[in-house]
A and B are shown apart, each in its own frame.
Chain A
Amino acid sequence: MSDAAKQTDATLDSELYKKREKLYPREVHGIFAVLRMLAMVALLGIYYGLPWVSWDGHQAILFDLPARKFHIFGLTLWPQDFFYLSMLLIIAAIALFMFTALAGRLWCGYACPQTVWTEIYMWIERKIEGTSKAQRKRDRGPRNAAYFGIKAAKHAAWLLFSLWTGFTFVGYFSPIHELWTNVVTWNLGPWETFWIFFYGFATYGNAGFMREQVCIYMCPYARFQSAMFDHDTLIISYDEKRGNPRGSRKRGTPSADVGLGDCIDCGLCVQVCPVGIDIRDGLQYQCIGCAACVDVCDDVMDKMGYPRGLVKYTTENALVGKPTHLFRPRIFVYIVILTFVSAALAYALLTRVPLEVDIIRDRNALYTETDQGLVQNVYNLKIINMDDKPQRYRLRVSGLEGLNVIGQTEGIEIGSGAVIDLPLRIEIDPIALKASSSEIMFHIESEIEPEALSIDEHARFLGPVMR
Protein backbone atom coordinates (compact mmCIF):
# COMPACT_ATOMS: atom_id res chain seq x y z
CA MET A 1 0.00 0.00 0.00
CA SER A 2 2.86 2.32 0.89
CA ASP A 3 3.83 3.43 -2.62
CA ALA A 4 0.31 3.77 -3.79
CA ALA A 5 -0.57 5.62 -0.61
CA LYS A 6 2.21 8.16 -1.10
CA GLN A 7 1.31 8.64 -4.69
CA THR A 8 -2.30 9.41 -4.01
CA ASP A 9 -1.64 11.47 -0.88
CA ALA A 10 -1.88 14.81 -2.66
CA THR A 11 -4.98 14.01 -4.68
CA LEU A 12 -6.46 12.35 -1.65
CA ASP A 13 -6.85 15.55 0.31
CA SER A 14 -8.77 17.25 -2.41
CA GLU A 15 -10.82 14.18 -3.26
CA LEU A 16 -11.75 13.46 0.30
CA TYR A 17 -13.77 16.60 0.58
CA LYS A 18 -15.20 16.99 -2.88
CA LYS A 19 -18.90 17.37 -3.32
CA ARG A 20 -20.55 14.02 -3.64
CA GLU A 21 -22.26 12.98 -6.81
CA LYS A 22 -24.82 10.22 -6.57
CA LEU A 23 -23.46 6.91 -7.83
CA TYR A 24 -25.49 4.48 -9.89
CA PRO A 25 -23.47 1.26 -9.62
CA ARG A 26 -24.36 -1.14 -12.41
CA GLU A 27 -25.55 -4.60 -11.41
CA VAL A 28 -22.90 -7.27 -11.79
CA HIS A 29 -22.97 -11.05 -12.17
CA GLY A 30 -20.16 -13.48 -11.49
CA ILE A 31 -18.50 -15.66 -8.92
CA PHE A 32 -17.75 -12.83 -6.45
CA ALA A 33 -21.22 -11.36 -6.87
CA VAL A 34 -22.59 -14.77 -5.88
CA LEU A 35 -20.25 -14.93 -2.88
CA ARG A 36 -21.33 -11.43 -1.81
CA MET A 37 -24.96 -12.41 -2.19
CA LEU A 38 -24.42 -15.55 -0.10
CA ALA A 39 -22.64 -13.54 2.60
CA MET A 40 -25.47 -11.01 2.57
CA VAL A 41 -28.21 -13.64 2.88
CA ALA A 42 -26.32 -15.49 5.63
CA LEU A 43 -25.48 -12.38 7.66
CA LEU A 44 -28.89 -10.74 7.33
CA GLY A 45 -30.49 -14.11 8.07
CA ILE A 46 -28.47 -14.32 11.29
CA TYR A 47 -29.26 -10.71 12.23
CA TYR A 48 -33.01 -10.92 11.65
CA GLY A 49 -33.43 -14.54 12.75
CA LEU A 50 -31.25 -14.92 15.83
CA PRO A 51 -33.41 -12.95 18.30
CA TRP A 52 -36.29 -15.35 17.60
CA VAL A 53 -34.27 -18.44 18.55
CA SER A 54 -34.92 -19.87 22.00
CA TRP A 55 -32.46 -21.71 24.20
CA ASP A 56 -33.28 -23.40 27.49
CA GLY A 57 -36.53 -21.49 27.78
CA HIS A 58 -35.13 -18.04 27.14
CA GLN A 59 -34.08 -16.04 24.11
CA ALA A 60 -30.77 -17.49 22.86
CA ILE A 61 -29.03 -14.14 22.45
CA LEU A 62 -30.44 -11.43 24.68
CA PHE A 63 -28.52 -8.51 26.08
CA ASP A 64 -31.27 -7.97 28.60
CA LEU A 65 -30.64 -4.37 29.53
CA PRO A 66 -33.82 -3.92 31.62
CA ALA A 67 -32.74 -6.89 33.79
CA ARG A 68 -29.01 -6.15 33.55
CA LYS A 69 -27.97 -9.60 32.38
CA PHE A 70 -26.72 -11.03 29.11
CA HIS A 71 -27.85 -14.40 27.79
CA ILE A 72 -25.54 -15.95 25.22
CA PHE A 73 -26.97 -19.40 24.59
CA GLY A 74 -26.26 -21.40 27.77
CA LEU A 75 -24.22 -18.66 29.36
CA THR A 76 -25.61 -15.88 31.54
CA LEU A 77 -23.37 -12.90 32.14
CA TRP A 78 -23.88 -10.09 34.64
CA PRO A 79 -22.42 -6.59 34.67
CA GLN A 80 -19.64 -8.01 36.88
CA ASP A 81 -18.64 -10.25 33.96
CA PHE A 82 -17.94 -7.31 31.66
CA PHE A 83 -14.38 -8.63 31.50
CA TYR A 84 -15.44 -11.58 29.32
CA LEU A 85 -17.19 -9.37 26.81
CA SER A 86 -14.22 -7.04 26.54
CA MET A 87 -11.98 -10.05 25.94
CA LEU A 88 -14.34 -11.19 23.22
CA LEU A 89 -14.05 -7.75 21.62
CA ILE A 90 -10.24 -7.90 21.79
CA ILE A 91 -10.32 -11.30 20.07
CA ALA A 92 -12.60 -9.90 17.36
CA ALA A 93 -10.31 -6.91 16.81
CA ILE A 94 -7.14 -9.02 16.52
CA ALA A 95 -8.89 -11.47 14.20
CA LEU A 96 -9.90 -8.52 12.03
CA PHE A 97 -6.28 -7.27 11.94
CA MET A 98 -5.05 -10.72 10.96
CA PHE A 99 -7.57 -11.16 8.18
CA THR A 100 -6.77 -7.68 6.92
CA ALA A 101 -3.05 -8.50 6.76
CA LEU A 102 -3.83 -11.76 4.96
CA ALA A 103 -6.70 -10.92 2.69
CA GLY A 104 -6.98 -7.14 2.63
CA ARG A 105 -10.42 -5.64 2.94
CA LEU A 106 -12.31 -8.89 2.97
CA TRP A 107 -14.36 -7.52 5.86
CA CYS A 108 -15.30 -4.37 3.96
CA GLY A 109 -16.28 -6.14 0.77
CA TYR A 110 -18.31 -9.00 2.18
CA ALA A 111 -19.15 -8.75 5.87
CA CYS A 112 -19.34 -5.12 7.02
CA PRO A 113 -22.92 -4.17 8.00
CA GLN A 114 -22.55 -1.02 5.93
CA THR A 115 -21.77 -3.08 2.81
CA VAL A 116 -24.40 -5.69 3.54
CA TRP A 117 -27.21 -3.21 4.16
CA THR A 118 -26.18 -1.05 1.21
CA GLU A 119 -26.36 -4.16 -0.93
CA ILE A 120 -29.88 -5.07 0.18
CA TYR A 121 -31.05 -1.45 -0.17
CA MET A 122 -29.62 -1.32 -3.70
CA TRP A 123 -31.36 -4.59 -4.45
CA ILE A 124 -34.68 -3.09 -3.32
CA GLU A 125 -33.89 0.02 -5.35
CA ARG A 126 -33.25 -2.06 -8.48
CA LYS A 127 -36.42 -4.09 -8.01
CA ILE A 128 -38.51 -0.90 -7.86
CA GLU A 129 -36.60 1.63 -9.92
CA GLY A 130 -35.03 -0.66 -12.52
CA THR A 131 -31.43 -0.82 -13.70
CA SER A 132 -28.83 1.81 -12.90
CA LYS A 133 -29.33 3.24 -16.37
CA ALA A 134 -33.07 3.60 -15.84
CA GLN A 135 -32.46 5.19 -12.44
CA ARG A 136 -30.11 7.78 -13.84
CA LYS A 137 -32.51 8.58 -16.68
CA ARG A 138 -35.38 9.02 -14.24
CA ASP A 139 -33.35 11.29 -11.95
CA ARG A 140 -32.43 13.54 -14.87
CA GLY A 141 -35.89 13.44 -16.39
CA PRO A 142 -39.06 15.36 -15.60
CA ARG A 143 -40.56 15.40 -12.11
CA ASN A 144 -43.92 13.96 -13.07
CA ALA A 145 -46.43 11.74 -11.31
CA ALA A 146 -44.64 8.57 -12.42
CA TYR A 147 -41.37 9.88 -10.95
CA PHE A 148 -42.89 10.67 -7.57
CA GLY A 149 -44.93 7.46 -7.56
CA ILE A 150 -41.91 5.25 -8.09
CA LYS A 151 -39.77 7.22 -5.60
CA ALA A 152 -42.52 7.01 -3.00
CA ALA A 153 -42.74 3.25 -3.51
CA LYS A 154 -38.98 2.89 -3.05
CA HIS A 155 -38.84 4.99 0.09
CA ALA A 156 -41.85 3.20 1.54
CA ALA A 157 -40.10 -0.14 1.00
CA TRP A 158 -36.87 1.23 2.47
CA LEU A 159 -38.66 2.67 5.48
CA LEU A 160 -40.53 -0.55 6.20
CA PHE A 161 -37.30 -2.50 6.00
CA SER A 162 -35.57 0.08 8.23
CA LEU A 163 -38.26 -0.14 10.87
CA TRP A 164 -38.03 -3.92 10.86
CA THR A 165 -34.26 -3.53 11.26
CA GLY A 166 -34.74 -1.16 14.18
CA PHE A 167 -37.28 -3.50 15.75
CA THR A 168 -34.86 -6.43 15.45
CA PHE A 169 -32.09 -4.32 16.96
CA VAL A 170 -34.17 -3.50 20.02
CA GLY A 171 -35.13 -7.19 20.11
CA TYR A 172 -31.54 -8.00 21.04
CA PHE A 173 -31.87 -5.87 24.16
CA SER A 174 -35.47 -6.41 25.18
CA PRO A 175 -37.23 -9.80 24.87
CA ILE A 176 -38.40 -9.85 21.25
CA HIS A 177 -41.60 -11.85 21.68
CA GLU A 178 -42.90 -9.39 24.27
CA LEU A 179 -41.70 -6.54 22.10
CA TRP A 180 -43.64 -7.89 19.13
CA THR A 181 -46.79 -8.29 21.23
CA ASN A 182 -46.34 -4.69 22.32
CA VAL A 183 -45.95 -3.56 18.72
CA VAL A 184 -49.09 -5.27 17.45
CA THR A 185 -51.15 -4.19 20.43
CA TRP A 186 -49.85 -0.64 19.99
CA ASN A 187 -48.48 -0.76 23.49
CA LEU A 188 -44.80 0.02 23.05
CA GLY A 189 -42.89 1.84 25.78
CA PRO A 190 -41.48 5.27 24.95
CA TRP A 191 -37.82 4.20 25.09
CA GLU A 192 -38.30 1.13 22.94
CA THR A 193 -40.24 3.21 20.39
CA PHE A 194 -37.49 5.78 20.37
CA TRP A 195 -34.68 3.25 19.76
CA ILE A 196 -36.63 1.42 17.04
CA PHE A 197 -37.01 4.70 15.17
CA PHE A 198 -33.48 5.87 15.94
CA TYR A 199 -31.82 2.69 14.66
CA GLY A 200 -34.28 2.42 11.77
CA PHE A 201 -33.53 5.99 10.75
CA ALA A 202 -29.77 5.34 10.95
CA THR A 203 -30.13 2.29 8.69
CA TYR A 204 -32.30 4.21 6.23
CA GLY A 205 -29.78 7.05 6.07
CA ASN A 206 -26.64 4.94 5.94
CA ALA A 207 -27.80 2.28 3.49
CA GLY A 208 -30.12 4.44 1.40
CA PHE A 209 -28.23 7.71 1.12
CA MET A 210 -24.77 7.79 2.70
CA ARG A 211 -23.58 4.47 1.27
CA GLU A 212 -19.93 4.68 0.13
CA GLN A 213 -19.52 8.00 1.96
CA VAL A 214 -19.70 6.11 5.26
CA CYS A 215 -16.64 4.11 4.18
CA ILE A 216 -14.80 7.13 2.84
CA TYR A 217 -15.52 9.79 5.48
CA MET A 218 -16.79 8.04 8.57
CA CYS A 219 -15.13 4.67 8.94
CA PRO A 220 -12.07 4.60 11.21
CA TYR A 221 -11.14 1.13 9.99
CA ALA A 222 -11.01 2.29 6.37
CA ARG A 223 -8.51 4.94 7.43
CA PHE A 224 -6.15 2.71 9.36
CA GLN A 225 -6.48 -0.61 7.55
CA SER A 226 -3.52 0.29 5.32
CA ALA A 227 -1.29 -0.07 8.40
CA MET A 228 -1.98 -3.81 8.31
CA PHE A 229 -1.15 -4.07 4.60
CA ASP A 230 2.16 -5.32 3.26
CA HIS A 231 3.36 -6.59 -0.11
CA ASP A 232 1.87 -10.02 0.54
CA THR A 233 -1.64 -8.79 1.33
CA LEU A 234 -4.41 -9.84 -1.01
CA ILE A 235 -5.60 -6.83 -2.99
CA ILE A 236 -7.68 -6.24 -6.08
CA SER A 237 -5.54 -4.90 -8.84
CA TYR A 238 -5.52 -4.16 -12.52
CA ASP A 239 -2.63 -5.77 -14.39
CA GLU A 240 -1.11 -2.67 -15.93
CA LYS A 241 1.60 -4.52 -17.85
CA ARG A 242 -0.95 -6.68 -19.58
CA GLY A 243 -3.69 -4.11 -20.00
CA ASN A 244 -1.89 -1.02 -21.27
CA PRO A 245 -2.02 0.67 -23.71
CA ARG A 246 -5.81 0.61 -23.57
CA GLY A 247 -8.09 0.99 -26.52
CA SER A 248 -11.18 -0.35 -28.24
CA ARG A 249 -11.00 -2.92 -30.97
CA LYS A 250 -13.32 -5.39 -32.71
CA ARG A 251 -14.43 -8.45 -30.79
CA GLY A 252 -12.02 -11.34 -31.13
CA THR A 253 -9.09 -9.28 -32.39
CA PRO A 254 -5.83 -10.38 -30.75
CA SER A 255 -4.31 -7.43 -28.87
CA ALA A 256 -0.96 -7.80 -30.60
CA ASP A 257 -2.58 -7.21 -34.01
CA VAL A 258 -3.77 -3.73 -33.04
CA GLY A 259 -0.71 -2.86 -30.95
CA LEU A 260 -2.73 -2.50 -27.74
CA GLY A 261 -2.86 -4.14 -24.31
CA ASP A 262 -5.73 -6.39 -23.26
CA CYS A 263 -7.82 -3.57 -21.75
CA ILE A 264 -10.47 -2.59 -24.25
CA ASP A 265 -11.29 0.53 -22.22
CA CYS A 266 -14.99 -0.36 -22.01
CA GLY A 267 -15.23 1.40 -18.63
CA LEU A 268 -17.45 -1.30 -17.11
CA CYS A 269 -15.13 -1.66 -14.10
CA VAL A 270 -15.85 1.99 -13.29
CA GLN A 271 -19.58 1.61 -13.86
CA VAL A 272 -19.97 -1.28 -11.42
CA CYS A 273 -17.81 0.24 -8.67
CA PRO A 274 -19.92 0.98 -5.59
CA VAL A 275 -17.46 3.64 -4.42
CA GLY A 276 -17.02 5.23 -7.83
CA ILE A 277 -13.29 4.74 -8.44
CA ASP A 278 -11.30 3.49 -11.42
CA ILE A 279 -9.38 0.39 -10.29
CA ARG A 280 -6.95 0.95 -13.18
CA ASP A 281 -5.55 4.00 -11.36
CA GLY A 282 -3.95 1.66 -8.82
CA LEU A 283 -4.70 0.75 -5.22
CA GLN A 284 -6.88 3.41 -3.61
CA TYR A 285 -8.02 3.82 -0.05
CA GLN A 286 -11.65 4.11 -1.22
CA CYS A 287 -11.60 0.57 -2.63
CA ILE A 288 -13.60 -1.70 -0.31
CA GLY A 289 -12.43 -4.85 -2.09
CA CYS A 290 -15.86 -6.00 -3.21
CA ALA A 291 -14.48 -7.50 -6.46
CA ALA A 292 -17.36 -6.23 -8.61
CA CYS A 293 -14.76 -5.02 -11.13
CA VAL A 294 -13.14 -8.47 -11.17
CA ASP A 295 -16.43 -10.10 -12.10
CA VAL A 296 -17.34 -7.63 -14.80
CA CYS A 297 -13.87 -7.61 -16.36
CA ASP A 298 -13.68 -11.41 -16.47
CA ASP A 299 -16.98 -11.34 -18.35
CA VAL A 300 -15.56 -8.89 -20.88
CA MET A 301 -12.38 -10.93 -21.28
CA ASP A 302 -14.51 -14.02 -21.99
CA LYS A 303 -16.42 -12.16 -24.67
CA MET A 304 -13.20 -10.90 -26.24
CA GLY A 305 -11.65 -14.35 -26.12
CA TYR A 306 -8.82 -13.14 -23.84
CA PRO A 307 -7.70 -14.93 -20.69
CA ARG A 308 -9.43 -13.84 -17.47
CA GLY A 309 -7.72 -11.97 -14.67
CA LEU A 310 -6.92 -8.55 -16.13
CA VAL A 311 -8.43 -7.26 -12.89
CA LYS A 312 -7.99 -9.84 -10.14
CA TYR A 313 -7.21 -10.69 -6.56
CA THR A 314 -3.46 -10.59 -6.29
CA THR A 315 -0.63 -9.22 -4.12
CA GLU A 316 1.86 -6.46 -4.72
CA ASN A 317 4.63 -9.06 -4.75
CA ALA A 318 2.83 -11.15 -7.35
CA LEU A 319 2.33 -8.08 -9.54
CA VAL A 320 6.09 -7.49 -9.76
CA GLY A 321 6.76 -11.19 -10.29
CA LYS A 322 7.99 -12.04 -6.77
CA PRO A 323 6.61 -14.97 -4.79
CA THR A 324 3.82 -14.29 -2.25
CA HIS A 325 4.39 -15.46 1.32
CA LEU A 326 1.35 -16.57 3.25
CA PHE A 327 3.15 -16.99 6.59
CA ARG A 328 5.20 -13.99 7.56
CA PRO A 329 6.29 -12.62 10.93
CA ARG A 330 3.27 -10.37 11.46
CA ILE A 331 0.83 -13.18 10.69
CA PHE A 332 2.71 -15.37 13.13
CA VAL A 333 2.50 -12.66 15.82
CA TYR A 334 -1.25 -12.25 15.24
CA ILE A 335 -1.77 -16.02 15.49
CA VAL A 336 0.21 -16.22 18.74
CA ILE A 337 -1.72 -13.34 20.34
CA LEU A 338 -5.03 -14.71 19.09
CA THR A 339 -4.33 -18.19 20.42
CA PHE A 340 -3.21 -16.83 23.76
CA VAL A 341 -6.19 -14.53 24.29
CA SER A 342 -8.69 -17.15 23.08
CA ALA A 343 -7.21 -19.76 25.39
CA ALA A 344 -7.33 -17.30 28.30
CA LEU A 345 -10.99 -16.54 27.60
CA ALA A 346 -11.90 -20.20 27.27
CA TYR A 347 -10.11 -20.97 30.54
CA ALA A 348 -11.76 -18.04 32.33
CA LEU A 349 -15.21 -19.07 31.09
CA LEU A 350 -14.75 -22.74 31.99
CA THR A 351 -13.56 -21.97 35.51
CA ARG A 352 -16.08 -19.18 36.06
CA VAL A 353 -18.04 -19.51 39.30
CA PRO A 354 -21.42 -17.78 39.05
CA LEU A 355 -21.15 -16.50 42.61
CA GLU A 356 -19.60 -13.33 43.90
CA VAL A 357 -18.95 -12.25 47.46
CA ASP A 358 -17.77 -8.84 48.61
CA ILE A 359 -16.74 -8.57 52.24
CA ILE A 360 -16.90 -5.12 53.77
CA ARG A 361 -15.61 -4.58 57.31
CA ASP A 362 -17.69 -2.40 59.58
CA ARG A 363 -16.03 0.99 59.42
CA ASN A 364 -17.38 2.41 62.68
CA ALA A 365 -15.10 0.45 64.98
CA LEU A 366 -11.93 -1.53 64.42
CA TYR A 367 -13.12 -4.07 66.96
CA THR A 368 -15.24 -4.26 70.07
CA GLU A 369 -14.82 -6.24 73.28
CA THR A 370 -17.78 -8.19 74.59
CA ASP A 371 -18.83 -8.61 78.26
CA GLN A 372 -17.15 -12.01 78.22
CA GLY A 373 -13.83 -10.43 77.19
CA LEU A 374 -13.99 -11.71 73.63
CA VAL A 375 -12.88 -9.59 70.66
CA GLN A 376 -15.55 -9.02 68.07
CA ASN A 377 -15.34 -7.80 64.44
CA VAL A 378 -18.37 -6.92 62.33
CA TYR A 379 -18.55 -7.70 58.62
CA ASN A 380 -21.11 -7.08 55.97
CA LEU A 381 -21.19 -9.67 53.17
CA LYS A 382 -22.67 -8.79 49.79
CA ILE A 383 -23.48 -12.10 48.08
CA ILE A 384 -24.47 -12.07 44.41
CA ASN A 385 -26.00 -15.17 42.85
CA MET A 386 -25.06 -15.01 39.16
CA ASP A 387 -26.50 -18.46 38.41
CA ASP A 388 -29.63 -18.75 36.24
CA LYS A 389 -31.49 -20.47 39.09
CA PRO A 390 -32.12 -19.69 42.77
CA GLN A 391 -29.49 -21.04 45.14
CA ARG A 392 -29.10 -21.88 48.80
CA TYR A 393 -25.68 -21.23 50.30
CA ARG A 394 -23.81 -21.98 53.51
CA LEU A 395 -20.62 -20.45 54.75
CA ARG A 396 -17.82 -21.12 57.20
CA VAL A 397 -14.94 -19.01 58.39
CA SER A 398 -11.44 -20.28 59.05
CA GLY A 399 -7.95 -18.92 59.70
CA LEU A 400 -8.00 -18.38 63.46
CA GLU A 401 -8.39 -20.99 66.11
CA GLY A 402 -11.60 -20.97 68.12
CA LEU A 403 -13.40 -18.25 66.24
CA ASN A 404 -17.13 -18.11 66.55
CA VAL A 405 -19.50 -16.83 63.86
CA ILE A 406 -22.68 -15.10 64.98
CA GLY A 407 -25.28 -14.74 62.27
CA GLN A 408 -26.83 -16.80 59.50
CA THR A 409 -24.37 -19.37 58.16
CA GLU A 410 -26.73 -21.92 56.60
CA GLY A 411 -29.71 -21.90 54.29
CA ILE A 412 -28.90 -18.51 52.81
CA GLU A 413 -31.40 -18.32 49.96
CA ILE A 414 -30.77 -16.01 47.05
CA GLY A 415 -32.82 -15.77 43.86
CA SER A 416 -31.26 -15.87 40.41
CA GLY A 417 -29.41 -12.64 39.78
CA ALA A 418 -30.25 -11.27 43.23
CA VAL A 419 -27.96 -9.68 45.78
CA ILE A 420 -28.29 -9.95 49.55
CA ASP A 421 -26.56 -8.17 52.39
CA LEU A 422 -25.56 -10.50 55.19
CA PRO A 423 -24.30 -8.95 58.43
CA LEU A 424 -21.98 -11.24 60.42
CA ARG A 425 -20.16 -10.93 63.75
CA ILE A 426 -17.05 -12.93 64.41
CA GLU A 427 -15.73 -13.23 67.95
CA ILE A 428 -12.64 -14.85 69.36
CA ASP A 429 -10.70 -15.16 72.57
CA PRO A 430 -7.92 -12.52 72.33
CA ILE A 431 -5.36 -15.14 73.48
CA ALA A 432 -5.66 -16.76 70.03
CA LEU A 433 -4.60 -13.55 68.31
CA LYS A 434 -0.95 -13.55 67.21
CA ALA A 435 -1.01 -10.13 65.55
CA SER A 436 -3.14 -7.01 65.58
CA SER A 437 -4.32 -7.91 62.09
CA SER A 438 -4.84 -11.54 61.10
CA GLU A 439 -6.04 -13.06 57.89
CA ILE A 440 -9.26 -15.02 57.93
CA MET A 441 -10.98 -16.87 55.12
CA PHE A 442 -14.67 -16.96 54.25
CA HIS A 443 -15.68 -20.10 52.41
CA ILE A 444 -19.10 -19.86 50.77
CA GLU A 445 -20.59 -22.81 48.90
CA SER A 446 -23.89 -23.93 47.48
CA GLU A 447 -25.79 -26.43 49.62
CA ILE A 448 -27.21 -27.97 46.46
CA GLU A 449 -23.96 -28.39 44.49
CA PRO A 450 -21.05 -27.61 46.85
CA GLU A 451 -18.49 -29.10 44.45
CA ALA A 452 -19.33 -26.89 41.52
CA LEU A 453 -20.27 -23.70 43.30
CA SER A 454 -17.90 -22.47 45.96
CA ILE A 455 -15.76 -19.44 46.51
CA ASP A 456 -13.08 -18.34 49.00
CA GLU A 457 -12.67 -14.72 50.06
CA HIS A 458 -10.00 -13.28 52.34
CA ALA A 459 -10.66 -10.67 55.01
CA ARG A 460 -8.79 -9.13 57.96
CA PHE A 461 -9.61 -9.67 61.60
CA LEU A 462 -8.42 -6.87 63.88
CA GLY A 463 -7.86 -7.05 67.62
CA PRO A 464 -5.50 -6.29 70.51
CA VAL A 465 -2.41 -8.44 70.94
CA MET A 466 -1.93 -10.05 74.35
CA ARG A 467 1.67 -9.96 75.56
Chain B
Amino acid sequence: MSTLPATQADRNQLPLIQQIISVMWPSFITASAATIVFFTIFDPIELGQIGGFPSLTRMGGYTIGFFCFWLLTSMSCAMTCYFRRPTNRQARTNNTNES
Protein backbone atom coordinates (compact mmCIF):
# COMPACT_ATOMS: atom_id res chain seq x y z
CA MET B 1 0.00 0.00 0.00
CA SER B 2 1.41 3.30 1.00
CA THR B 3 4.40 1.85 2.79
CA LEU B 4 6.67 1.93 -0.24
CA PRO B 5 6.18 5.60 -1.14
CA ALA B 6 6.65 6.43 2.51
CA THR B 7 10.03 4.73 2.70
CA GLN B 8 11.13 6.53 -0.41
CA ALA B 9 9.82 9.81 0.77
CA ASP B 10 11.45 9.55 4.15
CA ARG B 11 14.93 9.09 2.84
CA ASN B 12 14.65 12.00 0.46
CA GLN B 13 12.82 14.39 2.73
CA LEU B 14 13.57 13.39 6.27
CA PRO B 15 15.70 16.06 7.95
CA LEU B 16 18.91 14.73 9.50
CA ILE B 17 17.69 15.23 13.06
CA GLN B 18 14.62 13.07 12.37
CA GLN B 19 16.77 10.40 10.73
CA ILE B 20 18.88 10.29 13.88
CA ILE B 21 15.79 10.16 16.11
CA SER B 22 14.24 7.37 14.03
CA VAL B 23 17.32 5.27 14.81
CA MET B 24 18.01 6.34 18.40
CA TRP B 25 14.46 6.37 19.71
CA PRO B 26 13.15 2.86 18.87
CA SER B 27 16.50 1.46 19.99
CA PHE B 28 16.16 3.39 23.25
CA ILE B 29 12.78 1.77 23.96
CA THR B 30 13.97 -1.76 23.16
CA ALA B 31 17.22 -1.24 25.09
CA SER B 32 15.23 -0.12 28.15
CA ALA B 33 13.09 -3.25 28.00
CA ALA B 34 16.14 -5.47 27.48
CA THR B 35 17.94 -3.84 30.41
CA ILE B 36 15.02 -4.46 32.76
CA VAL B 37 14.68 -8.11 31.78
CA PHE B 38 18.43 -8.75 31.80
CA PHE B 39 19.12 -7.25 35.20
CA THR B 40 16.06 -8.90 36.69
CA ILE B 41 17.85 -12.18 36.09
CA PHE B 42 21.48 -11.15 36.58
CA ASP B 43 22.97 -9.13 39.40
CA PRO B 44 25.56 -6.64 38.06
CA ILE B 45 27.83 -7.21 41.08
CA GLU B 46 28.04 -10.94 40.38
CA LEU B 47 28.61 -10.25 36.69
CA GLY B 48 31.34 -7.78 37.58
CA GLN B 49 33.12 -10.35 39.73
CA ILE B 50 32.96 -12.97 36.99
CA GLY B 51 34.08 -10.47 34.36
CA GLY B 52 37.02 -9.17 36.40
CA PHE B 53 35.58 -5.83 37.52
CA PRO B 54 35.27 -6.41 41.28
CA SER B 55 34.83 -2.71 42.07
CA LEU B 56 31.75 -2.32 39.87
CA THR B 57 28.74 -0.90 41.75
CA ARG B 58 25.18 -1.91 40.89
CA MET B 59 24.23 1.54 39.61
CA GLY B 60 27.35 1.49 37.46
CA GLY B 61 26.52 -1.98 36.17
CA TYR B 62 22.97 -0.97 35.26
CA THR B 63 24.20 2.14 33.48
CA ILE B 64 26.90 0.38 31.49
CA GLY B 65 24.48 -2.46 30.69
CA PHE B 66 21.84 -0.05 29.45
CA PHE B 67 24.25 1.76 27.16
CA CYS B 68 25.65 -1.50 25.79
CA PHE B 69 22.11 -2.60 24.95
CA TRP B 70 21.41 0.79 23.44
CA LEU B 71 24.54 0.60 21.32
CA LEU B 72 23.51 -2.83 20.02
CA THR B 73 19.87 -1.97 19.34
CA SER B 74 20.78 1.34 17.68
CA MET B 75 23.25 -0.51 15.45
CA SER B 76 20.56 -2.90 14.31
CA CYS B 77 18.11 0.00 13.75
CA ALA B 78 20.74 1.87 11.74
CA MET B 79 21.47 -1.20 9.62
CA THR B 80 17.76 -1.65 8.89
CA CYS B 81 17.62 1.94 7.69
CA TYR B 82 20.76 1.46 5.63
CA PHE B 83 19.57 -1.75 3.95
CA ARG B 84 16.26 -0.16 3.03
CA ARG B 85 18.06 2.07 0.54
CA PRO B 86 17.76 0.82 -3.02
CA THR B 87 21.13 -0.39 -4.28
CA ASN B 88 20.35 0.74 -7.78
CA ARG B 89 21.54 4.27 -8.51
CA GLN B 90 18.85 4.71 -11.16
CA ALA B 91 16.07 3.81 -8.72
CA ARG B 92 17.45 6.33 -6.26
CA THR B 93 17.40 9.24 -8.68
CA ASN B 94 13.92 8.24 -9.87
CA ASN B 95 12.65 8.39 -6.33
CA THR B 96 14.11 11.82 -5.84
CA ASN B 97 12.40 13.06 -8.97
CA GLU B 98 9.05 11.59 -8.02
CA SER B 99 8.85 13.17 -4.60
Binding site for B on A (CB under 8 A): 9-10, 12-14, 16-19, 65-66, 68, 79, 82, 174, 189-192, 194-195, 217-218, 220
* B2 CB contacts on chain A under 8 angstroms: 9-10, 12-13
| Cβ-neighbour of B41 out of A12, A17, A79, A190 (below 8 A) | A79
Interface residues in B49-73 (C-beta closer than 8 Å to A): 57-60, 62-63
| Cβ-neighbour of B59 out of A14, A17, A18, A66 (below 8 A) | A66
* A19 CB contacts on chain B under 8 angstroms: 15
- Is the pair B9, A14 in contact by a Cβ cutoff of 8 Å? yes
* B96 CB contacts on chain A under 8 angstroms: none
Q: In the complex, what's the smallest C-beta–C-beta distance from A81 to chain B, in angstroms?
A: 9
* B13 CB contacts on chain A under 8 angstroms: 14, 17-18
- Is the pair A192, B6 in contact by a Cβ cutoff of 8 Å? no
Interface residues in B14-38 (C-beta closer than 8 Å to A): 14-15, 18, 21-22, 25, 29
* B5 CB contacts on chain A under 8 angstroms: 13
* B60 CB contacts on chain A under 8 angstroms: 190-191
- Is the pair A65, B9 in contact by a Cβ cutoff of 8 Å? no
Contact A82 B10, CB 8 Å, known A191-B60, A217-B22: no
- Is the pair B63, A194 in contact by a Cβ cutoff of 8 Å? yes
Interface residues on B, range: 20 to 34
Residue of B whose beta carbon sits closest to that of A202? B28
Q: In the complex, what's the smallest C-beta–C-beta distance from B39 to chain A, in angstroms?
A: 8
| Cβ-neighbour of B63 out of A18, A191, A217 (below 8 A) | A191
| Chain B interface SS verdict (over half) | helix
- Is the pair B6, A13 in contact by a Cβ cutoff of 8 Å? yes
| Bound complex: CA A12 to CA B3 (Å) | 11
| Bound complex: CA A63 to CA B14 (Å) | 39
- Is the pair A174, B59 in contact by a Cβ cutoff of 8 Å? yes
Interface code B78-98, partner A: CB below 8 Å = 1, 0 otherwise?
000000000000000000000
- Is the pair B58, A68 in contact by a Cβ cutoff of 8 Å? yes
Can you list 20 pairs linking A and B with CB atoms under 8 Å apart? A9-B2, A13-B5, A13-B6, A13-B9, A14-B9, A16-B10, A17-B9, A17-B13, A17-B18, A18-B13, A19-B15, A65-B58, A66-B57, A68-B43, A79-B41, A189-B59, A191-B60, A191-B62, A191-B63, A220-B29
Known contacts A16-B10, A218-B21; 11 further A-B pairs (Cβ under 8 A): A17-B15, A65-B58, A66-B58, A79-B39, A82-B40, A191-B57, A191-B60, A194-B63, A195-B63, A217-B18, A218-B25
Residue of B whose beta carbon sits closest to that of A220? B29
- Is the pair B21, A217 in contact by a Cβ cutoff of 8 Å? yes
* B15 CB contacts on chain A under 8 angstroms: 17, 19
- Is the pair B14, A17 in contact by a Cβ cutoff of 8 Å? yes
* B43 CB contacts on chain A under 8 angstroms: 68, 79
* A217 CB contacts on chain B under 8 angstroms: 18, 21-22
| Bound complex: CA A151 to CA B9 (Å) | 36
* A192 CB contacts on chain B under 8 angstroms: 59
| Bound complex: CA A14 to CA B8 (Å) | 11
Residue of A whose beta carbon sits closest to that of B25? A218
